Structure 1
């Protein structure tokens, strides 16, 4: 995993998470845009490769074989490129001397690709002289199942730093980890970049030495249906609760959880048993947590024998700016507030012993701690709000009924199922308008 540092920004809306009527009315327009892109919609087919859905607005970009002619990656923009079996592709960043910069690269192998455990991608961020700012890699692991793999890199400004501190040109390089064992076809890439300005005031410069690392009691209660997304850009929002979906061998599902400063996220994925077939699939069920810039923080995998299996993430600390000063990714990755991603994959090999499914999947999410104010930034992050949790973010993530925490069923229904008819939309607007008028009176 990569090593670095970063900062973030606080956004308004850290109250009780229940937006006012005007906020909810404004959010309806956002739901209209989002739900059209949820799984099952016609929009899902656009930009799909190997079961992964790329950002609809992703720009096509060609990686250069060297630094000369490397195309520019602009923070806040999603890109789509390709990675050949052999060779390294280069991209360019133009950075100032104050902001931290993050780059993520998601590689998507083709369906049916035969991959090895050590195969995957390797990426780096380097300065104009070729000095390394960060290195990271992502491999398919013991399951040897083709799936989207994500690596991330950082150019970080730090007091006393001697490398990668100046303003100017930097380069991002991407290559396959084991090209000699890798499938011959090109892989599609999704690339994103973000910048984080320095905090207005200097705070702690060391990672917290103590935090509650005990695994909490799992949530109990009947899970609610919540279909997962097919890519980071299509990740489906969820809050605390138990969420139910179906998953097929080779499929990857994406969810996102708004996690504010001071809050701690826990998650488990449960795969139901099956009556058909027998055997053992290594590391068949995989669950991973990614931070707001898509960097992987922690993951867990469990084998499958046809009996129920559970993958539980190791505890991670509450979100805190000072976490970035830790040496381990499990702490350092929890350095800013924002949307954290839960990515669930069921290995392709499960089909060999247990059939194509689908298999029932339950995702249990717990959020602990009290939301706190984050550091004020000396400037604006790019994209705007990436390191914050807004009232709209909270509204979009329904709360399940597990442990007796009920959600707003009307709002959840709109967020999950989309607004299928003008009647539903008008009815919802009518209710909210009536409430607003009554409150005004």
Structure 2
């Protein structure tokens, strides 16, 4: 059943640190054990407070890690201008094997200083009620005809965890991310497109290729259009990302292969969940209506609107979420109930990705688009299959290398200037030496008058000029 929701310092030590590979946590599917979800390595530990004005400050472009218990509220502060759109996403990461229900959710909202809610989002499990990472975002959007949440100043992010009485009361880890979208140089259309191609495309050409998914948004595996083969264990969630530019339309589906073993008379409802999130990690759409009986099954997301800035004005949540270009994230989860019926072995998985349409010109942003664009490096990552983490490290190393080259160039130029000045000074110092003699004796004692202090050095020293000068 589908859920309807809407400088770097240039130093050898620093370079060595960037090259280090962090060890990934081991995967364990036992009940109550930590999820293998790999949090962003740059995530800052933070602790939200029950009183809004005491909440820790979040800064744009940063990622944070917290946790939340059932029924708990946690506040954070963000400082916004009166021009940019702001998005704060929250990823709920319950422990594997813990019990969740349809009623369990993590709500994220943004409020102004008067307590007015700017917007909210709910990370839910829906009818596929088993523990897995789920996410959504809240936004503060600048709107010409709106009278609320438009001023510059302090705003407050609120996390609330609603939990069913029968659910496991363990705290959930939470990954928070604050992204800012620049304003437009001039106002554009405010009506979302109403019609777009809805026919599902044919299977991608080129044949299947192997590519293994990551465990989180942070280490999601990059994909381009194609048919991708993987395998997935019961209870496991795999993450992928696809670059989708302005004007392009994304289609995605997943096939679960037949099981070679297990009781074919048993079946599992909501056996596979395919979910899509936008570049700000806001929920777009999902599909979980797979009835698995050991035979190959397939699910697909409903056709989505081509990416357009004005989609944000749509009343349909899935369309509104297709509001900017960038990396779109796909997560695939296999129900833990599969293990009981068909064993713990990984089941072959095929992911079908189509990206239709030519890229269009980006909207006229008044500043850098940041995450909300598709670059040549993004396309290269999708071609190679680099994970989000690997691509980020590669970009950082390029910055360090460029900075190193720049520093080296400055050093070479500096040496050249120093050499030139030294050559010009040499005749002057030679001429001065005719009239200057080293100072002998004095307070330093014999032979100590030649120095480089302000009253020593070559020339007159602290005894004045030579006789006759």
Same fold (TM over 0.5): yes
SS in 1 for 2:311: helix
Residues in 2 aligned to 1:186 and 1:415: alpha-carbon distance in whole angstroms: 29
Change (3 A) 1:46 1:277: closer
Secondary structure of the residue aligned to 1:330 is: helix
Paired with 2:118 and 2:386, the residues of 1 have a C-alpha distance of: 44
Indicate yes or no: 2:72 matched with 1:87. Answer: yes
Deviations 1:285-328 (A, max 9, x none): 11111100011111111121111111101001111111111111
Q: Structure 1: how far apart are the matches of 2:92 and 2:314?
A: 27
Residue in 1 that maps onto 2:173: 188
**Which of 312, 328, 332 pairs up with 2:320?**
332
Matching of residue 372 in structure 1 with residue 360 in structure 2: yes
- Residue number in structure 2 paired with 1:277: 263
**Structure 1 residue 84: Cα displacement:** 1.3
The answer as to 2:269 corresponding to 1:289 is no
Q: Report the equivalent of 2:245.
A: 260
Aligned counterpart, 2:462: none
Residue in structure 2 matched with residue 224 of structure 1 by the alignment: 209
1:161-200 equivalent positions in 2, closer than 5 A: 161-200=146-185
Change (3 A) 1:415 1:145: closer
**Deviation per CA, 1:185-210, whole angstroms, max 9, x where unpaired?**
11100000111111112221100122
Matching residue of 1:433? none
- In the alignment, is the contact (CA less than 8 A) between 1:86 and 1:179 conserved in 2? no
Cα RMSD, aligned residues only = 2.4
2:226 corresponds in structure 1 to 241
CA contact under 8 A between 2:214 and 2:387: conserved in structure 1? no
Q: Which residue of 1 aligns with 2:437?
A: none
Conservation of the 8 A alpha-carbon contact between 1:289 and 1:341: yes
More divergent stretch after superposition (351-360 vs 274-283): 274-283
Report whether the alignment pairs 1:102 with 2:90.
no
Which residue of structure 2 lines up, in the alignment, with residue 44 of structure 1?
24
The structure showing larger relative contact order (alpha-carbon pairs under 8 Å, at least 6 residues apart) is 1
Matches within 5 A, 1:44-83: 44-45=24-25, 49-83=34-68
**TM-score after normalising by structure 1:** 0.79
Q: Call closer, same or farther: CA 1:85–1:273 in 2, change over 3 Å.
A: same
* Paired position in structure 2 for 1:428: none
State the alpha-carbon separation in 1 of the partners of residues 151 and 23 from structure 2: 42
Structure 1 contact 254–344 (Cα < 8 Å) conserved: yes
Q: How many angstroms apart in 1 are the aligned matches of 2:79 and 2:283? A: 24
User: What's 1:19 paired with?
Assistant: none
CA–CA separation in structure 1 for the residues paired with 2:291 and 2:84: 42
| 8 Å CA contact retained: 2:71, 2:163 | no
CA contact (8 A) 1:240 1:366 kept: yes
Quick check: 2:245–2:374 contact (8 Å CA) kept in 1? Answer: yes
Classify 1:154/1:47 alpha carbon distance in 2 versus 1 (closer, same or farther; 3 Å): farther
Distance verdict in 2 for CA 1:171–1:266, change over 3 Å = same
Distance in 2 of aligned mates of 1:277 and 1:73? 51
> 2-side partners of 1:154 and 1:282: how far apart?
34
Contact 1:58 1:80 in 2 (8 A): yes
Label 1:414 to 1:310 Cα distance change in 2 as closer, same or farther (>3 A). closer
The residue that corresponds to 1:159 in the other structure is: 144
Rate the CA distance shift 1:131–1:47 in 2: closer, same or farther, 3 A: farther
Q: Quick one: structure 1 residues 375 and 221, their matched pair in 2 at CA, closer, same or farther if it must change by over 3 Å?
A: closer
Q: CA deviation at 1:46?
A: 8.8
Query: Equivalences for 1:334-373 in 2 at 5 Å?
Result: 334-373=322-361
Shift of 1:268: 0.6
Q: Compare the two structures and name the one with the higher strand fraction.
A: 1
Structure 2: gaps spanning 5 or more residues: 7-14, 29-33, 391-469
* Alpha carbons 1:298, 1:313 under 8 Å: kept: yes
Unaligned runs of 5+ residues in structure 1 are 4-29, 399-411, 419-441
**Residue 389 (structure 1) aligned with residue 374 (structure 2):** yes
